[in-house]
Amino acid sequence: MWKALNTDSTRGFVKDVKRIIIKVGTAVVTGPNGRLAMGRLGALCEQVKQLNFEGYEVILVTSGAVGVGRQRLKYRKLINSSFADLQNPQMDLDGKACAAVGQSGLMAIYDTLFSQLDVTSSQLLVTDRDFLDPSFGNQLRETVDSLLDLKVIPIFNENDAISTRRQPYEDSSGIFWDNDSLARLLAQELEADLLIMLSDVEGLYSGPPSDPQSKIIHTYVHEQHGKLISFGEKSRVGRGGMQAKVAAAFTAASKGIPVVIASGFAIDSIIKVMRGEKIGTLFHKEANQWDCSKEVTARGMAVAARDCSRHLQKLSSEERKKILLDIADALEANEDLIRSENKADLAAAQDAGYDKSLVARMTIKPGKISSLAGLIRAIADMEDPISHTLKRTEVAKDLVFEKTYCPLGVLLIIFESRPDALVQIASLAIRSGNGLLLKGGKEAMRSNTILHKVITGSIPDAVGKKLIGLVKNKDEIADLLKLDDVIDLVIPRGSNRLVSQIKAATKIPVLGHADGICHVYIDKSADMDMAKRIVLDAKVDYPAACNAMETLLVHKDLNRTEGLDDLLVELEKEGVVIYGGPVAHDTLKVPKVDSFHHEYNSMACTLEFVDDVHSAIDHINRYGSAHTDCIITTDGKAAETFLQQVDSAAVFHNASTRFCDGARFGLGAEVKLLLKELP
């Protein structure tokens, strides 16, 4: 029903879930002072309402009645105390009395919150003795089925007020002994498809959550985790704690009911679980058959890259330069193998029916390896960026402040289906002393794998070949995005949607690089022979590149002139499909464009006529992506106006948009701008 960036293959079963039991712990229901946590309860009811609206059958098992009752009775006892009682306060309260007082108050809150959301709720109180009656199970199922058919939310709680146990909040005897085990029992009796247990922590950890060395376990495998987990103190309230949740979850999972333990403090945990996102800890009957090693692999890969980067930073500039020169030689020596793997990727992509522009981006053409090797040697010859002093200030006698460039640390870069990008990014990382984690498009996996092998094979053992990690599984991205303690920067190279998803899924700083909606404006004073050369280069040289022209703006006085007609004919000869904006469509009878965005159709070009340079600027600032735009004109004043007022990263006068490239700027590689400007 829902999809998300963090969707994990092990959570795919949620698409078949219909009946859900949600258990809410006392620590979620109440705040530190024992009072009801209205904000969390409100968020819980909002999520339940959404699931109910989507057609799910939702059953709540709630704790908190004893805690709420205790808080109320403490207050009542306090205001009825004499002065002598206050001098020697006795606040021991009977658990049954607390439960009796708290149950009505807790249910009143649920009823009020659900009523505000136009949802009806019902209360069902049970004791362990009820389950001793053979007929109770059938009656229970009939009642619950009837309520669910009416879209009513059944809310279960143990009836502690009449429990036969002496201390219902301490005694662990009986068929169930807390609401965790009650939730497990109800999941079995009511044939639930999923049990979600909300706690005051994000899930099950390898040790006490307060221990910095403890790591969350996303998938519980009893054979792997059963004897390794150490539990800290139980919750400040309630009687279960994480140990009770794990016992209940393991038992339910062994009966075929998946369980997720997640945080009840987050406002959308339940919805994320139902989206299949990897949050909390999953208990599943088949978990021991899954390969859950990637949880360790993601952190291990990032930590290894960080450790290797520190070894790299200890090397001199000449030593790092030699690594790059060795990589350049290795690429040329393995050109046949690299191109063979690339051809296999291309054949698979064509068989899969991928767009021609995507296949073009994947292609390693003859001469490309030599070009990349030359680029790497150019990077090696650049001035050393590490420890380059930008500024020295003597702030006091013998106290000098220095500002220098330094490595960022570990970079996670998600890039498009262009194998040559891997080579450029890796070379820049080595020159600048950074560790690197790379995730390329799955379409170019064989090409990326062989390039990664050749490059890391040239890295000396003193640094470590794990300096550059290649992420092969999409699911690992979700794990890596959580490693804000190891990874220092994420750079997603792709669509705006990808960049937005990455930003929403991580606390790590994100440097977004998205669309390339590039414009060329031909002013009325333009030299049309120059305009033809520039436009053809901007569009035809490499149509799939992000700096290729997408929109051609033309001064209205050039409409139907011989120079413009010749230019359009040349574009069509090169296979460019021309669409028209409103004016161009009416006057030239070309197909009308639906929008001025054609970044995913590399051989399309939108043509539109504008009144003057100011109209061109307004159009670019409205529809452009702030990437690269240019003006072709002999009018110096118009050119200056354009250069000053177009809000883009690169603005050119009488030059192709294809010049927006790190290598052409003398910065070593096209992605250099993404790294060099960050000290």
Give CA–CA dist 624/620, Å, rounded: 5
Does 249 fall in a domain?
yes
Poorest-confidence range of 215-229, 410-424, 566-580, 588-602?
588-602
The residue whose two tokens read 């009775």 is: 73
Global confidence as pTM = 0.57
pLDDT, mean of residues 176-195: 89
Q: In this structure, is residue 150 part of a structural domain?
A: yes
- pLDDT on residue 64: 79
pLDDT at 36 over 60: yes
**More confident site: 463 or 293:** 463
- Asked whether residue 289 is domain-assigned, the answer is no
Angle value at C-alpha 100, between 99 and 101, nearest 5 degrees: 90
Average pLDDT over residues 235-256: 77
Q: Tell me, what CATH number does 394's domain have?
A: 3.40.605.10
- What's the chain's average pLDDT? 85
Decide: 421 and 493 in contact? Cβ < 8 Å. yes
Calpha distance 42→46 (Å, rounded): 6
pLDDT confidence bin for 662, thresholds 50/70/90: low
602-637 b/e (C-beta count within 10 Å ≥ 16 → b): bbbbbbbbbeebebbbebbeebbbbbbbbbbbeeee
- 495 & 428 share domain: yes
Task: Let me know if residue 675 belongs to a domain.
Answer: no
Residues 450 and 596 in one domain: no
% of the chain exceeding 70 in pLDDT:
85
Is 670 part of any domain? no
Query: Based on the domain organization, do 356 and 495 belong to the same domain?
Result: yes
**Do 235 and 315 fall within a single domain?**
no
Single residue among 457, 482, 505 that ends a domain in this structure? 505
Residues 478 and 529 in one domain: no
Domain that holds residue 379: 298-505
Q: Which two tokens stand for residue 350?
A: 């064509």
pLDDT band at residue 4 using 50, 70 and 90 as cut-offs: very low
Q: Is 291 inside any structural domain? A: no
32 pLDDT tier (thresholds 50, 70, 90): confident
Is it the case that residue 451 has pLDDT exceeding 50? yes
Number of domains in the chain: 3
Do 490 and 548 sit in the same domain of this protein? no
- Residues 212, 314: one domain? no
Within 10 angstroms of residue 60's Cβ, the number of other Cβ atoms is 24
Give the model's pLDDT for residue 641: 97
Do 331 and 472 fall into the same domain? yes
Place 430 in a pLDDT band, splitting at 50, 70 and 90: very high
CATH number at residue 240: 3.40.1160.10
CA distance 475 to 280: 15
Which of 283, 312, 341 is the C-terminal boundary of a domain? 283
Confidence (pLDDT) at 610: 96
Domain harbouring 598, CATH code? 3.40.309.10
At 676 the pLDDT is: 35
> What's the pLDDT score for residue 217?
87
Q: How confident is the model at residue 601 (pLDDT cuts 50, 70, 90)?
A: low
Provide Rg for the chain, Cα atoms.
32
Residues 386 and 304 in one domain: yes
Q: Which of 234, 256, 283 is the last residue of a domain?
A: 283
Counted residue by residue, the chain has a size of 679
Buried b (16+ CB within 10 A) or exposed e, 310-348: ebbbebebeebbebbebbbebbeebbeebbebbeebbee
pLDDT digits (tens, 9 = 90+) for 486-541: 999 999 877 677 788 888 889 999 987 556 789 999 999 999 999 999 999 999 98
Lowest-confidence pick of 29-38, 118-127, 277-286, 377-386: 29-38
Does residue 355 form part of some domain? yes
Query: Which residues, 6 or more positions from 148, have their beta carbon under 8 angstroms from its beta carbon?
Result: 19, 57, 59, 154
Mean pLDDT across 435-447:
93
Query: Comparing C-alpha atoms, which of 196, 260, 252, 239 is closest to residue 59?
Result: 196
Q: What is the pLDDT of residue 294?
A: 52
Is the same domain home to 153 and 99?
A: yes
One domain for residues 524 and 476:
no
Does 616 lie in the same domain as 568? yes
pLDDT of residue 526: 97
